[in-house]
Amino acid sequence: MSKKFLALLISTFLLFNTAYADVMNLKAKSAILMEAETGEILYEKDIHKPLPPASVTKVMTLLLAIEAIDSGKIKVTDKVVTSKHAFDMGGTQIYLEVGEEMTVDDLMKAIAMNSANDASVALAEYIAGTEENFVELMNKRAKELGAKNTTFKNATGLPEEGHLTTVYDIAMISRELVKHPSIFKYLTNKIDSLRNGKFSLINTNKLLWRYKGVDGIKTGSTSEALYCMAATAKRGDTRLIAVVFGAPDSETRFNETAKLLDYGFANFETVKVASRGEVLGKIKVLKGNKEMVEGISLKDEYVVVKKGEGKNIKKEVELKNFLTAPVSKNNPLGVLKILQEGKLIKTVDIYPATDVKKANFFENFNKVINYWIKKGS
């Protein structure tokens, strides 16, 4: 590809995106569209500006809860006793009484569907002992996920000085949340009830009814934060995450989130370039108890390309000529190069499928015997 053609291609791509960004003309204070598998940003507006997130905070509350469930730390059948502190929560509630017992499963419904503050605090206390301890876990997990401009002060999103995050950080937290298949039981639940049908729950995420492929995540609003939302949708192999903060009203919040998703699905596609455990090549091992070792991808790998350009992707495997034992499966032995029209767009490390130990005396002796037997035949 000539430099002039490449420059023209890049200019056209940038012009297209800039033009579309102008057409978007979002009223939200900040917004982001992210592809979930790769974390690639497809649209951005003030994505690192710290703002109050309102109940979108509960994306992190739900993440810590589902991690505790999936790890076995807590069970969905566990019964949680409501504290006075949880009872005292204002804002949206399911009106828990002091001493009332509710299962983790029902509390998860109340948080994901109804955005219940009392349920959020009750579950936070059950997981970490106190809401304060839980908030420490929230901030620690945020930093681990690369959410560097986030400071949580509570588990609910109720207004509190210094309780701030960004649309980018919430997208990163949401990206981690959707890696847990069990969370979608709660995120996609449109209508349910608690207390044997006495208390109705209707999911605040209206896009569940309106937008094809939407299966989460969370809405939020306060007088300070205005109207906020984190949403995710999947079509085919492409999962997108859209986050908007500071929309002027509820309908604008939903419409602009849908507009972001429309843009993503219309213009981009996710292509799987390697599967977890996929054998990408074999390498000879010298002085080992095995003569060959397979090179594999440690996880599923994806790239995001313009719509319709997935067929232009090429893959090249580059491996070392040989390895000398001992070989650790933690040390890469080559790379998988992903190219589009000759341009490198991604590299994937290739690792040994197994450790290879150094051959002992008897193993080396057997190799010599086998060599001479084969040579003699």
Tell me the fold of 275-376. Answer: Peptidoglycan synthesis regulatory factor (PBP3), Domain 2 (2.60.410)
Count CA within 13 A, CB hemisphere, residue 259. 20
Residue 118 in contact with residue 131, Cβ under 8 Å? no
**294: β partners:** 282
Catalytic member of 29, 30, 45, 58: 58
Residues 34-63 have a mean pLDDT of 98
Q: Tell me, what's the pLDDT at 5? A: 38
Residue linked to tokens 């319709």 = 308
Bond before 326 cis per omega within 30 degrees: yes
Q: Is the pLDDT of residue 374 over 70?
A: no
Catalytic member of 30, 55, 83, 174: 55
Does 1.20.1050.10 match the CATH number of domain 28-269?
A: no
SS3 sequence of 255-306: HHHHHHHHHHHHHEEEEEEECCCCEEEEEEEECECCCEEEEECCCCEEEEEE
Residues 294-308 have a mean pLDDT of 95
pLDDT digits (tens, 9 = 90+) for 217-262: 999 999 999 999 999 999 999 999 999 999 999 999 999 999 999 9
Is 218 known as a binding-site position? yes
Tell me whether domains 28-269 and 275-376 share a fold.
no
Catalytic member of 30, 83, 115, 174: 115
pLDDT digits (tens, 9 = 90+) for 260-284: 999 999 999 999 999 999 999 999 9
Residue linked to tokens 């290879």 = 356
| Token pair recorded at residue 356 | 């290879």
Q: Which residues are within 8 A (CB) of 106 and not within 5 positions of it... i.e. 6 or more apart?
A: 194
Does residue 30 carry a catalytic annotation? no
Backbone angles phi and psi of 195, in degrees to 5 = 55, 50
Q: Indicate the helix (H) or strand (E) that contains 376.
A: helix 361-376
C-alpha distances out from residue 158 to 65, 120, 176, 295, Å = 19, 11, 23, 50
Concatenating the DSSP letter of every residue in 5-48 gives HHHHHHHHHHHHHHHHHHHH---SSEEEEEETTT--EEEEESTT
Concatenating the DSSP letter of every residue in 110-133 gives HHHHH--HHHHHHHHHHHHSSHHH
Residues 323-339 have a mean pLDDT of 95
Residue 167 in contact with residue 47, Cβ under 8 Å? yes
Q: Where are the domains of the chain?
A: 28-269, 275-376
Q: Is the pLDDT of residue 340 over 60?
A: yes
Does residue 58 carry a catalytic annotation? yes
Residue 92 in contact with residue 116, Cβ under 8 Å? yes
**33: β partners:** 43, 242
**Beta strands 313-319; 30-35: pairing state:** unpaired
Q: Is the pLDDT of residue 16 over 50?
A: no
Q: Is the pLDDT of residue 362 over 90?
A: no
**Beta strands 41-45; 79-81: pairing state:** unpaired
Does residue 259 carry a catalytic annotation? no
Inter-axis angle of helices 104-114 and 58-70, nearest 10: 150
